[in-house]
Amino acid sequence: MIEVLSSFCILVGLVFGFWGTSSLLGSRSVLFKLHNLSVSDTLGSISIIVGLLFLRPREWPLLLLAIISLMLWNTMLGYVLASCSSDAVKNQHDVLYFDPDFEIGDES
């Protein structure tokens, strides 16, 4: 019974991984694709680790650490990439409206 439950969790994790990767082929924005990929990758990886936890219950401290690390680092990496992307969009917006006749101290 434990082997079946473990296999099911690992299979669900693989499905999440392929589902997130397949969403990269769509025509949505890059940030939407990044969000979708990071969420599905995190859920898939955690599901695979839970499946391994059923097979190797004596390794629970290491596997729990792996789950916590995945949750923190995947979330943080997605936030950093989105933040960098939004800063690039803001800088691009500022460049589009650059006034070459503007002088420092000019209040108009």
> Is residue 77 domain-resident?
yes
The predicted model scores a pTM of 0.71
> Is residue 103 domain-resident?
no
> Is residue 102 domain-resident?
no
> Is residue 105 domain-resident?
no
> Is residue 66 domain-resident?
yes
Q: What is the DSSP string of 16-79?
A: HHHHHHHGGGSSS-HHHHHHHHHHHHHHHHHHHHHHHHHH-GGGHHHHHHHHHHHHHHHHHHHH
Range of the domain at 53: 2-95
> Is residue 36 domain-resident?
yes
> Is residue 101 domain-resident?
no
Split into its structural domains, the chain has a count of 1
* Ordered per-residue pLDDT tens for the chain, 108 residues: 999 999 999 999 999 999 988 888 888 887 888 888 888 989 999 999 999 999 999 999 999 999 999 888 887 887 787 777 765 555 555 444 555 666 666 555
> Is residue 100 domain-resident?
no
